[in-house]
Amino acid sequence: MKQVDFVDLGKSPYQETWDLQTAIQQRLIDEKLAVRKGASFEKRSHDVLLFVEHPHVYTLGKNGDLSHLLKSEDELTGINAEFVKTNRGGDITYHGPGQIVGYPIMDLDRYFTDIHKYMRSLEEIMIRVCADYGIEAGRIKGLTGTWVGNSKICAMGVKCSRWVTMHGFALNVKTSLNYFNNIVPCGIADKGVTSLEQLLGREIPVSEVKEKLIKHFDEVFDVEVKPAKTLPEFEQDFAYFKDRVI
């Protein structure tokens, strides 16, 4: 069974985490290309799953519409939020406290080279997590993400290079949903946003939801997600690649 290294970054700024993702993705790409050229490795790097909780930040996908940000940058400063243009797919979304952001950095050559199937697999994980709490979640045809009725509970946007993914999903657990009022979430004006706590009317431990996410990630991708080294050791391991961010 394939192993995926898991690292919980805790609270981390968006740009710093993006740089780390890019470094990990590049390492997986470099190793794969080297093998194709005849190189051999005693042990190739595993795929990686990062969990993180970002400070208030609005991120815009590479083809997103800037008009979907309804506040000026000065106004964002007043609510302790920042704005970042990214290289992922999708439109604009919000990340903040009480939200589990997951970044799977996976070489799809190890699984299936089908980005549509990959996105549906991420949605399936969220559907199963919601089901664990008695919530019936699903998909809306033509729209990415996981929905409860007409409200999105998990937004998704990825970038794939040489079949190695980065970016990922943002599951609202105890997120302050008022922050979504400052954008047109994912560019969809006629749909709402929700969270596990809003739907259940009670407090949900974020740690508990993380355990369920890992369990269903294992099942859907047929992998074993295992804790990697400590965060300082993990970051040191990738320090060389951080210097090569492009």
The pLDDT value given to residue 232: 66
| β 164-172/151-161 pair status | antiparallel
The pLDDT value given to residue 242: 47
Q: Which residue has the tokens 């519409």?
A: 65
CATH of the domain at 160: 3.30.930.10
**Residue 74 belongs to what domain range?**
2-242
The pLDDT value given to residue 97: 97
Q: Report the distance separating Cα 99 and Cα 76, nearest Å.
A: 19
The pLDDT value given to residue 231: 64
Burial class (CB in 10 A: 0-12, 13-18, 19+), 246: exposed
Q: Using one digit for the tens of pLDDT, what is the confidence trace for 115-144?
A: 999 999 999 999 999 999 999 999 999 999
Q: Report the distance separating Cα 173 and Cα 122, nearest Å.
A: 16
- Residue 92 CA: distances (Å) to CA of 23, 39, 103: 24, 41, 17
pTM above 0.85, yes or no: yes
The pLDDT value given to residue 233: 67
Per-residue pLDDT of the chain (246 residues; tens, 9 = 90+): 899 999 999 999 999 999 999 989 999 999 999 988 888 777 788 999 999 999 999 999 999 999 999 999 889 999 999 999 999 999 999 999 999 999 999 999 999 999 999 999 999 999 999 999 999 999 999 999 999 999 999 999 999 999 999 999 999 999 999 999 999 999 888 999 999 999 999 999 999 999 999 999 999 999 999 987 666 666 666 554 444 433
For 163, residues 6+ apart whose C-beta sits below 8 A from its C-beta are: 107, 108, 109, 113
Domain count, the chain: 1
Which H, E and C letters describe 131-173, residue by residue?
HHCCCCCEEECCEEEEEECCEEEEEEEEEEECCEEEEEEEEEC
The pLDDT value given to residue 105: 97
Q: Which residues are catalytic?
A: 186
